[in-house]
Structure 1
Amino acid sequence: MDFSFYVPANIKFGRGKADLIGSEVARYGKKAFIVTGKSSAKTGLLERALKQLENEGVEYEVFDKVAENPLTTTVEEGAALIKETGCDCILSMGGGSPLDAAKGMSLLAKNGGDIDDYIFKRAKGEFTSYPIVAVPTTCGTGSESNGTAVLTNPATKAKKGLAYPCLIAKSSIVDPELMETMPKSVLGPVTFDALCHSMESYLSPQANPFTEPYSVDAMLYLAKYMVRANDDIHDQEAIDGVTLASTMVGAAFFVAGLIAPHGMEHPLSGLRNIKHGRGLAALTPTIYEHSISGNPEKYAFVSRILGGKDENDCGMTIRRLLSRIDLEVYLSDEGFTEDDVEWLTDSCMTLSKARLELNPKPLGREEVAEIYMESM
């Protein structure tokens, strides 16, 4: 037995915890750079946070330009503003996009250089970041409990992650009440993303005795509550359960890694800017059917947790679950055609090769193209 586990996450979980935003930020700085999207103003969260910061005597700058599937150019703009405005800490609020973008901004503002050098591991040395307080408003990415950020280069459409322990939030305020502002079109994809994190981190050959309990518990919570939450976003027990699962498994996959479904999805949302969870829904059942021989015992375990019998019905069991949350998706539904397969395959083999090789059954170029075709 030989493994490591380092995820120093500081999670404050529970209904009403959003009232701690101001006091938590005040612990780490005097002027906060607030990274968010437009929805936090619409839901009232931004105004709520600003009042708390004012009560704590914390100055702030608001950067609300983060869109779905955050761009490297947005990160560069935000990093320049952090330095220009003299902010000394970061408050990220929203879904995975603002939380991921904030990590990229923090890394770039503190250490300088080109963000692509951090993404592609060309930058060398020990890196630091501004202290981050993260407040998620969706229950899917797990970004609040790890140091991972996924960014898209708008010029090349390359979507790829970076991961550094220094980017783990100093404090993550996880308030399930904030999840109840999500539209149904967002809730289904993000909860399936959380389930994919759970399944993939469990199936990963890099899973270890610390990560597996997080992954399995997250799967169990999602199997119990995912459909209920999608049926009624105000079902408090269900929303609390899926929120806990999402946050819990973020720590697991930071160590265990993710496998082929995430590796093959990133070219989809990089090229067409689709919802990440919808791309996963289109691909995951087919990828698993191609991968079962790599570890039939683990695929059988996943299937049984989700209501199936064994490894042979794992893909079909996931499809049944997707139908129950109105997320039966094919790539053609998202605007892809067979003409896109070559580009998607090239991008996947270039940017996601490590995840394809980490898959229980490693996938090569021909099989990747075949899966994209079958998922149309």
Structure 2
Amino acid sequence: MNTFHELLMPSTILYGMDSFKEVGKQSIKLGGKTLIISDPIMAKLGYVEECKNLLKESGLSYTAYLDVDSEPTDIHVKEAMDICSRETCDHIVAIGGGSCIDTAKAVSVLMTNGGTMTDYFGTGKELAKKPLPVIAVPTTAGTGSEVTKVTVITDVATDIKMMLSDASLLPAVAIVDPNLTVSCPKGVTAATGVDALCHAIEAYISRKAHPVTDVLALTAIDHMIGSIRTAYEEGENMDARSSMALGSMLAGAAFSNASVTLVHGMSRPIGALFHTPHGISNAMLLPAVLEFTMEASIDRLAEIGRRIVKNADDYSDRELACGVINELKQLCVDLHIPNMKTYGIDEKLFTSSLSKMAEDAIKSGSPANTPRVPAADEIIELYQRCYNYDFSEKTQFAEQTN
């Protein structure tokens, strides 16, 4: 058994107000021609044009692919690669949420290693060549993709979210400017915020957690739990936006090194089949999954509880673990997170997809990191429970019912 732990991060991280203005200076270090990967919303908000101007000021030429959708697919990757190849770009700037950054990572890998994402997903095939350098500029406080070694791309032919994890996928530069998150509407703020909180919690309870990721995960929770509601209700509150941006980045670094668990394993098939936003599908699952694994992770959940439960010193570890779940349920209520039925997922299609979703969840590898590793039938039961889950129903303290 290893007696040491590894921590992988981007070579350069710029965090703080107006750090986006440094994109040109960072880009010129990586090459002469930039491929900007973004989406129509970022273009409409003016972030893409601002990026172009900053690159131009640094004497760089550029081209752009702006058609990434809310969930990145192998089609987006192929279209962006065609432009990257045709224009002979030597590095990439990704501006947007996790979809844009994940697309950029996939493009960077395939441009130098060849093939498609399906050649690497679940095959054990190694990346023989260093990917193109990526500068990641997140505009949401959620995915943490700017500091992770992971990309997730949907195969549209099979409706499977393909996850690739490799140290070479780490962006060369992460630029985290809280100013860019102010444009997030309330729904996106809620979805990405809960996603980031989920990253921190899963990283902390993961079987692969270690002392360094513990510090990152708990610090991320400290930053986010007190600011997520404010960022949701007061979108221009820069203290809350800054705290969420920092927390999201720390949570991303935590789970990139400690891995996620059952929540993400179950979430990806929901997104692939029913096209729910990633953060929403995580939130739909989080309380129920923590209830499932609570007995195997009471000490860890209790430590989280000391950060988010009022008057924590008055409670036992078991009560604190239940308190964490109840606080997260209340957060889902406050942020208007729907269950699957309320969201509009067709029940018959959902039921008929249960076996495939459970199989795909296990295949992702994430459930194996959970303190209580589930069997396929247990995952199916959890899916069924979550379909019509009641976030207002409190988890009872075991000591009160014995």
CA contact (8 A) 1:342 1:369 kept: no
Pairing 1:332–2:333 present: no
Cα distance in 1 for partners of 2:9, 2:247 equals 18
Please identify, of 152-161 and 119-128, the stretch whose mean Cα deviation from structure 2 is larger: 119-128
Pairing 1:149–2:151 present: yes
Aligned positions of 1:180-219 closer than 5 A: 180-219=182-221
Deviation at 1:4, TM superposition (A): 2.6
Aligned AA (2:300): K
Instruction: State the match for 1:76 in structure 2.
Output: 78
Partner SS, residue 151 of structure 1: strand
Cα distance in 1 for partners of 2:237, 2:386 equals 33
Deviation at 1:39, TM superposition (A): 1.2
Cα distance in 2 for partners of 1:89, 1:77 equals 16
Deviation at 1:335, TM superposition (A): 2.4
Pairing 1:138–2:134 present: no
Partner SS, residue 29 of structure 1: coil
Cα distance in 1 for partners of 2:18, 2:370 equals 39
Deviation at 1:347, TM superposition (A): 2.8
Deviation at 1:301, TM superposition (A): 2.2
CA contact (8 A) 1:135 1:174 kept: yes
After superposition, what is the alpha-carbon deviation per residue over 1:68-112, rounded to whole angstroms, capped at 9, x for unaligned?
A: 110012112222321221101101100000000000011001110
Aligned AA (2:326): M
Aligned positions of 1:1-376 closer than 5 A: 2-9=3-10, 10-307=12-309, 309-327=319-337, 329-339=338-348, 340-353=350-363, 354-376=365-387
Instruction: State the match for 2:398 in structure 1.
Output: none
Cα distance in 2 for partners of 1:18, 1:344 equals 43
Pair 356,234 (structure 1): closer, same or farther in 2 beyond 3 Å: same
Please identify, of 181-190 and 298-307, the stretch whose mean Cα deviation from structure 2 is larger: 298-307
Cα distance in 2 for partners of 1:217, 1:270 equals 31
Deviation at 1:345, TM superposition (A): 3.6
Aligned AA (2:375): G
Instruction: State the match for 2:315 in structure 1.
Output: none
Aligned AA (1:242): M
Please identify, of 220-229 and 95-104, the stretch whose mean Cα deviation from structure 2 is larger: 220-229
CA contact (8 A) 2:309 2:324 kept: no
CA contact (8 A) 2:361 2:367 kept: no
CA contact (8 A) 1:356 1:364 kept: no
Pair 281,73 (structure 1): closer, same or farther in 2 beyond 3 Å: same
TM-score, length-scaled by structure 2: 0.90
Deviation at 1:125, TM superposition (A): 4.9
Cα RMSD of the aligned pairs, angstroms, is: 1.5
CA contact (8 A) 1:127 1:166 kept: no
TM-score, length-scaled by structure 1: 0.96
Please identify, of 353-362 and 56-65, the stretch whose mean Cα deviation from structure 2 is larger: 353-362
Partner SS, residue 211 of structure 2: coil
Instruction: State the match for 2:392 in structure 1.
Output: none
Cα distance in 1 for partners of 2:354, 2:38 equals 30
Aligned AA (1:317): E
Deviation at 1:306, TM superposition (A): 2.5
- Alignment gaps of 5+ in structure 2: 311-318, 388-402
After superposition, what is the alpha-carbon deviation per residue over 1:349-372, rounded to whole angstroms, capped at 9, x for unaligned?
A: 234342222211111111111111
After superposition, what is the alpha-carbon deviation per residue over 1:6-60, rounded to whole angstroms, capped at 9, x for unaligned?
A: 3132210010111111111111111001100111111111111111111212111
Partner SS, residue 61 of structure 1: strand
Partner SS, residue 210 of structure 1: helix
Aligned length: 375
After superposition, what is the alpha-carbon deviation per residue over 1:223-280, rounded to whole angstroms, capped at 9, x for unaligned?
A: 1211111111111111100100101121111110000011101111101111111111
Cα distance in 1 for partners of 2:335, 2:43 equals 28
Please identify, of 173-182 and 223-232, the stretch whose mean Cα deviation from structure 2 is larger: 223-232
Aligned AA (1:4): H
Cα distance in 1 for partners of 2:127, 2:152 equals 21
- Alignment gaps of 5+ in structure 1: none
